[in-house]
Amino acid sequence: MGRIEIENISLAFKQGTREFKALDGVNAVIEDGEFVCVIGPSGCGKSTLLSVLEGLTVPDAGRVLIDNVPVNGTGPERAVVFQQYTLFPWMSAKQNVIFGMKQVLKDLSASQYEEQAEAFLIRVGLSGVSDKLPGQLSGGMQQRVAIARALAVSPQILLMDEPFGAIDAKTRVSLQQLLLELWGADERKKTVVFVTHDIDEALLLSDKIIFMKPGVISEMIPVGLPRPRNKDGQLLDSEEYRRLRAILVSKFYQDVTEHIGGKEVVL
């Protein structure tokens, strides 16, 4: 299972004698198998929240429950993919995936690690690159390896922090599609918490959008668009897509404008 309850999470960063509240009473429930996008202006606490869900950052107050069990550190049912490429540069693509597997799956034979890592690389659309180093792969391919590494431990929860943020627009579309296919093909869908700046990405991917403004969740918006979704289908032209998009755009700018006191902002 992978139901996440976020209960009253608060966290302040200390800067000298001053405190800065990055999270200030965040509450949310993410259902098992749900694909949730977290959206909001830069600096509003998205990455901090994800780090709390991962278990790397301990909040000052509140708690996270996964299937009713309080989170206490990282755990094998959660895997992460970040924006910056986090592969070990001195390890091949396959070795990177195996490294991830070894953290969780302790008692496979050497050939089982190899076979399973190969299989996951193929699932993310990579063949023939197992022995390449990350530096020999494009950014998009590196993120595919990072996704393979995350999936290879069979996590029930996938935490993704702007994973396609540094990827060019065309490659990004194929990675979004890949992620939707991997998620949709799973009989027991993973719970995905996906941070993004991009409203269209959130609408394409999610069942629900969590809107943050600095330190808090300002709104949760259900996305009832039919699946499967893709960007070249009827999705973008549908009335419901346009209606949701209009709500999100106005909300985004309203929050940002409130935050910066009406000054012009670059997103």
Q: Which residues here bind ligand ADP, judged by CB under 6 A?
A: 13, 20, 22, 40, 42-48
Smallest distance, ligand ADP to C-beta of residue 161, A: 7
Binder of residue 135, out of ligand ADP, Mg ion, none (CB less than 5 to 8 A by kind): none
Part of the chain binding Mg ion (CB under 5 A), chosen from 44-52, 96-104, 122-130, 222-230: 44-52
Interatomic CA distance for residues 257 and 41, integer angstroms: 10
Nearer to Mg ion, 40 or 140 (CB): 40
**Residue among 175, 210, 204, 207 nearest 191 (CA):** 207
Interatomic CA distance for residues 3 and 77, integer angstroms: 11
Considering only residues 22, 37, 47, 229, which one is a binding residue for Mg ion as defined by CB under 5 A? 47
Q: What CA–CA distances, in Å, run from 162 to 34, 85, 131?
A: 18, 11, 27
In 91-230, beta strands by DSSP E: 157-161, 191-195, 208-213, 216-222
**Residue among 251, 263, 240, 54 nearest 160 (CA):** 54
Smallest distance, Mg ion to C-beta of residue 194, A: 12
Q: 31: how many CB neighbours lie within 10 A of its CB?
A: 13
- What is the maximal distance between C-alpha atoms in the chain? 60
Nearer to Mg ion, 46 or 190 (CB): 46
Smallest distance, ligand ADP to C-beta of residue 54, A: 12
Binder of residue 44, out of Mg ion, ligand ADP, none (CB less than 5 to 8 A by kind): ligand ADP
Nearer to ligand ADP, 26 or 79 (CB): 26
Burial profile 92-117: b = 16 or more Cβ within 10 angstroms, e = fewer: bbbbbbbbbbeeebeeeeeeebbebb
Smallest distance, ligand ADP to C-beta of residue 261, A: 16
Smallest distance, ligand ADP to C-beta of residue 21, A: 9
Binder of residue 22, out of ligand ADP, Mg ion, none (CB less than 5 to 8 A by kind): ligand ADP
Nearer to Mg ion, 98 or 210 (CB): 210
